[in-house]
Amino acid sequence: MLVQWILLICSAALISSKGLPERIVGGQSVSILSVPWQASLQMYGDHHCGAVIYSEKIVLTAAHCTERKPPYMFSVRVGSSNSGFGGQVVKVSQILEHEAFGKTFAESNDIAVIQLQRNLIMGFGVRSIPLADSSPQPRSLAFVSGWGSIESYGKGSTTLLGTTVAIVDRDSCMSSYRGGISKDMICASAPGKDSCGGDSGGPLVSDGKLVGIVSFGRGCAHSEYPGVYANVAELKPWIVKTIQRL
């Protein structure tokens, strides 16, 4: 009887500690049904980075997630709130990274187009998202999601997390990063909230459009360093042209 009580108390403690709102960084659990364009880019079957569903055959991610690695190492999981099981898993057939990735700064043009071996079955929890045509205004709210760490240098989360951040104006982001921000980047932050390691390649969505792809930052939720994202509106001509080449 005593053993049962100890077990019960231990499991209750475990469950309640998992319920703490210390997710993505400063976020909460979200269902794939509310961010159905979110995908997990897997390397040898393990979550490696986020990705975004563009169409049945195409997902987008960050170039630093695929950097020079061959397609056979990768697959994509969609339609599941958990990065380790459920939904659909489809193998990658081709990866095209931005030719100017890492040219101006280490993370310039941090975007790659991924073609899948077979079509995704679209439906509940599996949907594409349109690309933004113009960059959102500073202070616009945007939602970022992923299976990344809940703190700087921490472990990834197996359940999907998300949080709301605000677009930061270019000049103030420039001064935070001492000029290392190019036009193909856009910054976003909120006190105690941020994307983090393992969220890279995932979506930043504002007003129903994909405005950013998680790229980098100094630490996570650091008050002086916003999260930096590939600026989808600026990169849209490259994305469209590259998909036509596939």
Residues annotated as catalytic (active site), given as ranges: 64, 110, 200
Q: How far apart are CA 47 and CA 199, in angstroms?
A: 10
Which stretches of the chain are DSSP H helices? 2-18, 63-66, 170-176, 232-245
What would the x/- binding string for ligand 4AZ be over residues 207 to 236, using CB under 6 A? -------x-xx--x------x---------
Output 135 or 176, the one with its CB closest to ligand 4AZ: 176
Q: How far is the CB of 227 from ligand 4AZ (least distance, A)?
A: 4
Q: How far is the CB of 33 from ligand 4AZ (least distance, A)?
A: 24
Q: How far apart are CA 140 and CA 34, in angstroms?
A: 19
Q: Retrieve residue 106's tokens.
A: 């280490």
Output 127 or 222, the one with its CB closest to ligand 4AZ: 222
What phi and psi values does residue 76 have, to the nearest 5 degrees? -130, 135
Nearest to 242 by CA among 63, 89, 102, 106: 63
Cα atoms in the Cβ-side hemisphere of radius 13 Å centred on 98: 29
Output 86 or 138, the one with its CB closest to ligand 4AZ: 138
What would the x/- binding string for ligand 4AZ be over residues 71 to 90, using CB under 6 A? --------------------
3-state DSSP call for residue 128? coil
199 forms part of the interface with ligand 4AZ (CB under 6 A):
yes
# residues contacting ligand 4AZ (CB under 6 A): 11
Name the site residues for ligand 4AZ (rule: CB under 6 A): 194-197, 199-200, 214, 216-217, 220, 227
